[in-house]
Amino acid sequence: MDSLKPNHALVMAAATLLLTGTMSGCMSEDSSSQKTPAALGGLAINFDDGVPSDLLKFENTDFETVKTSQANNAVALHFQSKDNQEASFAFEPKKPWNWEGLSDFAFAIDISNTSDTSTHLYVTAKDTSGAAHNRSMVVPSQSSNTYYMVLRGDDLNIETGIRSNPKKWISEHEPIIWRYGTKNIDLSQVESIKFSVRGLLADKSIVIDNIRLIQAEAQDKDYLVGLVDEFGQNAKLDFDGKVNSVEALIERSQQEQSKLSNHPMQGRSKFSGWSEGPKLDGTGYFRVEKYQGKWSLVDPEGYLFFSTGIANIRMANTSTITGYDFDESLLPGRDANDLTPEDSKGLNRAPEAAVKSRYVSSKLRADMFEWLPDYSEPLAANFGYRNTVHVGAVEKGETFSFYRANLERKFEETDNAKLMNKWRDTTIDRMLTWGFTSFGNWVDPIFYQEDRIPYFANGWIIGNYKTVSSGNDYWSPLPDPFDPEFSERASKTVAQIALEVKDNPWCVGVFVDNEKSWGSMNSNETRYAIAINTLKLPSKESPTKAEFDKLMQAKYVSVDALNKAWGTDIASWQGFAEGAELTQFTDQALADLSVMMTHYAEQYFKVVAEMMDKHMPNHLYLGARFADWGMTPEVRFAAAKYADVVSYNYYKEGINSDFWTFLKDIDRPSIIGEFHNGSVDTGLLNPGLVHAESQYDRGQKYVDYMQTVVDNPYFVGAHWFQYIDSPLTGRAYDGENYNVGFVSVTDLPSEPLVKAATDFNRQLYRTRFSQ
CA proximity to 512, closest of 397, 350, 644, 683: 644
770 compared with 692, residue with greater pLDDT? 692
CB atoms within 10 A of CB 134: 18
Q: pTM for the complete prediction?
A: 0.93
Alpha-carbon gap, residue 209 to 15, rounded angstroms = 9
Query: Residue 214 — pLDDT band, cuts 50, 70, 90?
Result: very high
Query: Is the predicted pLDDT of residue 439 greater than 50, yes or no?
Result: yes
pLDDT score, position 17: 57
**3-state SS class at 419:** helix
pLDDT score, position 4: 38
pLDDT score, position 737: 97
* Amino acid symbol at 344: S
Distances (CA, A) of 90 to 152, 196, 197: 20, 8, 12
- Check: CB of residue 28 under 8 Å from CB of residue 36: no
Phi/psi at 612 (5° precision) = -65, -45
* Amino acid symbol at 170: I
Query: Residue 23 — pLDDT band, cuts 50, 70, 90?
Result: very low
pLDDT score, position 50: 87
pLDDT score, position 211: 96
pLDDT score, position 390: 87
pLDDT score, position 658: 80
Distances (CA, A) of 237 to 25, 309, 681, 682, 742: 17, 31, 10, 9, 20
Calculate mean pLDDT across residues 240-254.
Answer: 96
Alpha-carbon gap, residue 454 to 435, rounded angstroms = 13
Query: Is the predicted pLDDT of residue 22 greater than 50, yes or no?
Result: no
pLDDT score, position 7: 55
Q: Where are the beta strands (DSSP E) in 99-189?
A: 105-113, 119-127, 132-139, 143-152, 174-175, 177-181
pLDDT tens-digit map of 723-759: 999 999 999 999 999 999 999 999 999 999 999 999 9
Q: 690: which DSSP letter?
A: S
Structural domains of the chain ordered from first start: 8-215 (2.60.120.430), 416-529+597-769 (3.20.20.80)
Alpha-carbon gap, residue 295 to 2, rounded angstroms = 33
**3-state SS class at 65:** strand
Query: Is the predicted pLDDT of residue 1 greater than 60, yes or no?
Result: no
Calculate mean pLDDT across residues 8-36.
Answer: 47
Calculate mean pLDDT across residues 625-647.
Answer: 96
Query: Is the predicted pLDDT of residue 3 greater than 60, yes or no?
Result: no
Alpha-carbon gap, residue 458 to 161, rounded angstroms = 27
pLDDT tens-digit map of 336-353: 777 777 777 888 899 999
What stretches of 258-385 show up as alpha helix (H) in DSSP?
A: 352-355, 363-366
354 compared with 657, residue with greater pLDDT? 354
Q: How many residues does the chain have?
A: 771
Q: Kind of pairing, strands 620-621 and 507-512?
A: parallel
pLDDT score, position 39: 84
The alpha carbons of the chain give a radius of gyration, in whole angstroms, of 27
Calculate mean pLDDT across residues 585-603.
Answer: 98
> Which residues are registered as beta bridge partners of 234?
228
What mean pLDDT, rounded, does the chain reach?
93
Alpha-carbon gap, residue 322 to 347, rounded angstroms = 13
Calculate mean pLDDT across residues 360-386.
Answer: 97
pLDDT score, position 490: 97
Alpha-carbon gap, residue 696 to 701, rounded angstroms = 9
Between 135-149, 211-225, 338-352, 368-382, the lowest mean confidence (pLDDT) is in 338-352
Alpha-carbon gap, residue 26 to 24, rounded angstroms = 5
pLDDT tens-digit map of 407-424: 999 999 999 999 999 999
Query: Is the predicted pLDDT of residue 6 greater than 60, yes or no?
Result: no
pLDDT tens-digit map of 291-318: 999 999 999 999 999 999 999 999 989 9
CA proximity to 171, closest of 150, 197, 185: 150
pLDDT score, position 770: 82
* Amino acid symbol at 213: L
pLDDT tens-digit map of 138-179: 999 999 999 999 999 999 999 999 999 999 999 999 999 999
Distances (CA, A) of 29 to 22, 177, 195, 545: 11, 24, 25, 64
pLDDT score, position 38: 60
pLDDT score, position 288: 98
Query: Is the predicted pLDDT of residue 5 greater than 80, yes or no?
Result: no
Around 334, how many Cα atoms within 13 Å sit in the side-chain half-sphere?
16
Query: Is the predicted pLDDT of residue 279 greater than 90, yes or no?
Result: yes
Q: Kind of pairing, strands 320-321 and 324-325?
A: unpaired
Query: Is the predicted pLDDT of residue 16 greater than 80, yes or no?
Result: no
* Amino acid symbol at 364: L
Question: What is the percent of the chain where pLDDT is above 90?
Answer: 85
Query: Is the predicted pLDDT of residue 766 greater than 70, yes or no?
Result: yes
pLDDT tens-digit map of 443-460: 999 999 999 999 999 999
Calculate mean pLDDT across residues 629-648.
Answer: 97
pLDDT score, position 24: 39
